[in-house]
Amino acid sequence: MKNTWHFKILIRLYLARVFQWLGQQQEIYYVGSSEALPPPLSNDEENDLIERLGQGDGQVKSVLIERNLRLVVYIARKFENTGVGIEDLVSIGTIGLIKAVNTFDPHKKIKLATYASRCIENEILMHLRRNNKTRSEVSFDEPLNIDWDGNELLLSDVLGTENDIIYKNLEEEVDKKLLHQALLKLSGRERRIMELRFGLNNGTEKTQKEVADMLGISQSYISRLEKRIIKRLKKEIHRME
């Protein structure tokens, strides 16, 4: 007696198929199978099952789902032009149908097929949106172009940070060391002028006039000295490289 509950459900489902066969209704088949899908419920059948669902009879859910599987196929076919395979659309739609039967409120005056259609369509649309989102994400290894020799130009080949920040920082570090060594070759006054003018040693940059006032010499002399010192620094750095 204990094990008879599932036989009852199976008998109910198979009887539905036998009635469909006897009625010679238009048949829709399983994906990849010659077995026909159960036909939709008649109004009376649906009302009866929904009443029982409202009374808490969970076993009628299977019948409601199976007898609405054609609806899943019908809606899935509307999305066939999206590039998603019909088998995926049908399985996603079935998730929508299971959600529909489990969340259907029999007290609301709405047909199950209407509610289920929305759930199935929503489920498929949600999947398509999710897929589109993924499609807009591009891999760094995405080939942008392939030349005649078959060499791929990857997205990562053309990507860089603003002015190649990483390399720039490294190069700046090297330049700073060279500059520091070159500065050591200058006389005390020349080094002081450079430090004041360019804010070396964490100071602030000063104008030629300010430096001239600080050292008690003319601005034009500072200008001439600066040019000469920079020329010499360049030469020293070039020698060290």
Partner 1 sequence: MMKEAIKCVFCCSSIEEKNFGIVILGKYICADCERKITHLTGDDPNYDVYQGGLKRIWFNEA
Q: Please report, as ranges, the residues that interact with partner 1 according to CB under 8 A.
A: 2-3, 5-6, 9-10, 13, 30-33, 35, 58-59, 61-62, 65-66, 69, 87-88, 90-92, 94-95, 98-99, 102-103, 126-127, 129-130
Query: In the bound complex, what is the minimum distance in angstroms from residue 5's beta carbon to partner 1?
Result: 5
Within 104-187, residue ranges assigned H as helices are: 112-135, 155-158, 165-183
Q: For residue 198, what are the CA distances in angstroms to 170, 183, 203, 210, 233?
A: 20, 12, 8, 12, 13
Residue closer to partner 1 (CB basis): 60 or 212: 60
φ, ψ at 186 (rounded to 5°): -85, 165
Residue closer to partner 1 (CB basis): 97 or 193: 97
Residue closer to partner 1 (CB basis): 95 or 179: 95
Q: For residue 138, what are the CA distances in angstroms to 19, 82, 129, 151, 227?
A: 53, 20, 16, 19, 51
Q: Are 70 and 98 in contact (CB under 8 A)?
A: no
If we measure between CA atoms, which residue out of 137, 145, 142, 140 comes closest to residue 160? 140
Query: In the bound complex, what is the minimum distance in angstroms from residue 6's beta carbon to partner 1?
Result: 6
The rounded distance, in Å, linking the Cα atoms of 240 and 233 is 11
The rounded distance, in Å, linking the Cα atoms of 153 and 99 is 46
